[in-house]
Amino acid sequence: MTILVTGAAGFIGYHACEVLLARGETVTGVDSLNDYYDPALKQARLARLQGREGFSFHRLDIAEADALKALTLDARPDRILHLAAQAGVRYSIDNPHAYARSNLDGQLSVLEAARALGGDLKHLVYASSSSVYGEREGPFRESDRIDAPVSLYAATKGAGELMCAAYARLYGIPATGLRFFTVYGPWGRPDMAYWLFADAMVEGRALKLFNEGRNRRDFTYVDDIVAPMLRVLADDPARAAHRIYNIGGSHPHPTADLVRALEAALGVKAQTEAVPAQPGDVSLTYADVSKLAADYGYAPTVDLQTGIARFAEWFRDWRAQTS
Ligand SMILES: NC(=O)c1ccc[n+]([C@@H]2O[C@H](COP(=O)([O-])OP(=O)(O)OC[C@H]3O[C@@H](n4cnc5c(N)ncnc54)[C@H](O)[C@@H]3O)[C@@H](O)[C@H]2O)c1
């Protein structure tokens, strides 16, 4: 396979490139390396990919439609794995336009690049999010309505799905959207709770438990995202097919479970501070993964304790190297 990976220096993109390169695939990576979180972490991920057989990297903002299209026509991938996005719910309160640029303009640029490839493109797989479901009881099913987002991030991810559905139908693009649920692991994201908590714990600061610790999240270890995502990517759906799948642990945990797993893994007792819910946050994420299980044999394998222990081991090394 020849694959264009957007967001290649991001958390999930980096892990996907690692697996693809280990399999001997040809990967063209694209990322803007923006400073939403420490670009040194993105550079460090990238450094592990650069120089590897089959890998090339282009620093590019995907909202630059002409540049992305030119690069795509030059690389002629038969698959596109589109992971670049402005992620995070809280950041959208102060930086709404960053979401429009990456998740709407950027999504459209990727679709235009896919359109330009015509019949040579066998599959476009792109990241959506559990946040599209808004505030509701679980488990969340792909057939649920997604018209009540509680953050701009969620609204742009939902809009991205609709844009893709239209392009798939109009231009015959075989496309699949994957709704990820709270992904964590080594080389993860410094803006997410597991990292913020780990940082606070090793520095002896109190952790903020939003919504007084009542939030529940369907934590998903990164390998339980990447392997099935690449299985889907390798598939050749019919032209014009547009499908959506949940991909998540399907086992929501209260924040207290995350704190306990980190305490065990880091050997540190957490000090906690209960604070009100944050605007844009939902109280529950919970994936029904029966559709992905039926079509692709999906079965998550890494539980929260095991996954957090792997994250913590990497996190200690990362802190030691960077502090
Ligand atoms: N990690 C999760 O828990 C989670 C959950 C749901 C959905 N997602 C989605 O999965 C995808 C990957 O997320 P991640 O956790 O790896 O996040 P990440 O922020 O680590 O990776 C995204 C990468 O995209 C790049 N990027 C952002 N805007 C860009 C632009 N305009 N042009 C080029 N590059 C750009 C960033 O520099 C970053 O390296 C995103 O689409 C995100 O919305 C992630």
pLDDT at residue 69, as a whole number: 98
Please report the pLDDT score of residue 247 as a whole number. Answer: 98
- What confidence tens digit (pLDDT) does each residue in 235-283 have? 999 998 999 999 999 999 999 999 999 999 999 999 999 999 988 889 9
167 is catalytic: no
Give me the residues of the chain with pLDDT under 50, please.
none
d(CA 83, ligand 1 centre) in Å: 6
Nearest CA to ligand 1 atom 7: 129
Q: Is residue 256 part of a domain?
A: no
pLDDT at 240: 86
Beta bridge partner(s), residue 57: 29
Domain count, the chain: 1
Q: Give the atom of ligand 1 at the shortest distance from the alpha carbon of 63.
A: 31
Q: What is the pLDDT of residue 196?
A: 97
- What is the model's pLDDT at position 222? 98
Helix axes 11-22, 39-49, angle to 10 degrees: 0
Structure confidence by residue, pLDDT tens digits, 47-92: 999 999 999 999 999 999 999 999 999 999 999 999 999 999 889 8
How far away, in angstroms, is 104 Cα from ligand 1 center?
13
Cα–Cα dist 171/167, whole Å: 6
What confidence score (pLDDT) does residue 278 get? 87
Pairwise CA distance, residues 82 & 105, whole Å = 13
Query: Domain for residue 258, yes or no?
Result: no
Tell me, yes or no, whether 323 lies in a domain: no
CATH number of residue 242's parent domain: 3.40.50.720
Residue 188 Cα to chain centre, angstroms = 10
What is the distance in A from the centroid of ligand 1 to the CA of 31? 9
* Residue 121 covered by a domain: yes
Q: Which two tokens stand for residue 155?
A: 């609204």
Calculate how far, in angstroms, residue 260's C-alpha sits from the geometric centre of ligand 1. Answer: 27
For a ligand 1 pocket test, name from 183, 184, 224 the mutation site with the most ligand atoms within 8 angstroms of its C-beta: 183
170 within some domain: yes
* Catalytic-role residue among 36, 37, 133, 153: 153
Q: Directed axis angle between helix 255-266 and helix 304-322, to 10°?
A: 60
β pairing state of 183-184 and 206-209: unpaired
Domain interval for residue 180: 2-188+221-250+280-301
Instruction: Examine residue 193 and state whether it is found in any structural domain, yes or no.
Output: no
In this prediction, residue 89 carries a pLDDT of 84
Let me know if residue 125 belongs to a domain: yes
- Closest listed residue to residue 10, CA positions, set 102, 92, 78: 102
Does 214 map to a domain?
Answer: no
